[in-house]
Chains A and B, each alone.
Chain A
Amino acid sequence: MNQPDGQGYITVSLPRPLVERIEARIRGTGFASPAAYVEYVLGEVLSDDPNPGDGFSPEDEEALKEKLRALGYLG
């Protein structure tokens, strides 16, 4: 799963048999590579995560809440 060309990407190693199974699965599907398929599947899995982590610090979160409230997005 080597994708060194995009700066937003890092390399993750997968066992060869798994990669071979992915290659068989994506044949003819439009997924350009096992990497593209793995990225898609993991994105799907992580979208369901109800607690996606810490985008904002607690203080920033409070300030942002007030701003969004003033803008009418919360109420």
Chain B
Amino acid sequence: MKALVLGLDCAAPALLFDRYADDLPVLSALRRRGAWGAMQSCDPPITVPAWTVMASSQDPGRLGIYGFRHRKPSTYTEGYTVSSTSITVPRIWDYLGQRGKNVIVVGVPPSYPPRPVRGCLVSCFMTPDGRPWTYPASLGEELRGLVGRYKADVLFRKDDRDRVLAETVDMTEQHFAILKQLLKTKPWDLAWFVEIGLDRIHHAFWKFFDPTHPGYVPGNKYERVGLEYYRLLDSRIGEILSLLNDQTAVLVISDHGAKAMRGAFCVNQWLAREGHLAFHEEPSTPIPLEQAPIDWSRTRAWGWGGYYARIFLNVRGREPSGVIASEDYERERDRLAASLAAVCDPSGRVMDTRVFKPERLYPVRRGDPPDLLVYFDDLSWRSAGTVGHPDMYLSENDTGPDDAVHDYDGIFILHDPRRASGGHGRLDILDVAPTVLTLMDEPVPPAMQGRPSEVVG
């Protein structure tokens, strides 16, 4: 049995299974013929760790990957961006290649720089413009003749949403054209494709199509953008499915979901107000933390922003100007965790904030885990790391347009041609790779943490 995985980055159950379901004939029909439900993402539910967890069946702690960027050792704010070279464990296509199976990998983050597989690979949205984007390199020339210059991603422009929309649609059409071409012309046993465009549509347009978003205005010009983009995906997926024989299992899946963003919480300004972070001179205009005049010798904790907050303690012997003695570490961390859990929103309501110690989430912690992971108001409030704002609460993202935040539950639809239907169920992200291997009648390597899901029976 062959397997085709169609990844829709950020696809949300509430839209795909409910609000838009009647307008998505292909996906809804696939759902009736297969198993479907929520795909439970990892902690944190962030693109780069999530797709890697899914394809390797190793949790973020084992991977040592906690987000897009990681701190350089012995620094406060210097970091590096996770790339394909950061992944040291085999992903499902590596296992299959070793067993003589051919694979097609398109757009699965992180896959830049392109690394060898047994088959072909097109790198992901993190590919810098003009850099090598395929394995083998000759594939890039072959595809360029067909689809032109590779559109790895779109750029966000707060002031030109029309252009963001047009570029996202163009990019998505190109990615499906690439997949179609590879499926038709290359030998394959597993094909794994990820389209990033849906994530971009959610982040740029959510408030225009979600009536529950605080910024929603009925009748706005982008009201149908969400529906029309989901319909585009549905239609292109239909074309892809028409290329398959009855010996191919299909899994449509997302890495996390999405929901309305309530605002951004300035975590470092809060830490400063609470006496955990000190400036030589308080910034009067918004600047990134790395540009702020921080007095590290009087700072006990600082945070990195994003869809969740990473909190680091300034520990003596670990950080360059560490102030917290190792014997005080747990007490400090507990106290800070309790304060973070009690943060209020602008109305004075205590947010539903979740604070995690990494050892509670991950049995093994490699690389540089933060001292605390924080989901403000159950992820509805984004964390802003910038400082110098007049207020701790920002009504929109401090660094650009952002209408949506991430949610834990993504989606899955699994069709196995050997089974008439599967019904409704939940799929854990760690179980995805073992499930796909089982569908392909391949053994599950012992290093994988998950197991074949019961949804495949």
Contacts and interface: CB of A to CB of B under 8 A. Distances in A.
Contact of A7 (B64, B117, B203, B367): B117
A69 interface: yes
Contact of B86 (A39, A44, A55, A67): A55
A48 B64 contact: yes
Nearest to B398: A75
A31 B203 contact: no
Interface stretch (B108-116, B213-221, B319-327, B428-436): B108-116
Nearest to A72: B402
Given A64-B128, A70-B156, A74-B306, A50 B85 contact: no
B378 to A, nearest CB: 17
Contacts of B446: 29-31, 40
B105 to A, nearest CB: 11
A54 B128 CA distance: 14
Assign chain B's interface to a size class. 35 or more
B366 interface: yes
Contact of B94 (A8, A29, A56, A61): A8
Nearest to A53: B85
A43 to B, nearest CB: 4
B346 interface: no
B254 interface: no
Nearest to A9: B98
Contact of B85 (A52, A61, A68): A52
B383 interface: yes
Nearest to A60: B128
A63 B128 contact: yes
B62 interface: yes
A10 to B, nearest CB: 9
B280 interface: no
Interface string A16-37: 0000000000000111100010
Nearest to B120: A7
A3 B81 contact: no
Contact of A9 (B97, B113, B264): B97
A55 B368 CA distance: 17
B363 to A, nearest CB: 13
Contacts of A65: 69, 81
A12 interface: no
Contact of B84 (A55, A63, A75): A55
B97 A73 contact: no
13 contacts: A8-B116, A30-B445, A47-B63, A51-B72, A60-B128, A60-B131, A61-B81, A68-B68, A69-B399, A71-B200, A71-B400, A73-B67, A73-B69
Interface of B: 46-47, 62-64, 67-69, 72-73, 80-86, 88-90, 94, 97-100, 110, 112-113, 115-119, 126, 128-129, 131, 153, 155-156, 200, 203, 264, 288, 304-307, 366-368, 382-386, 397-400, 402, 443, 445-447
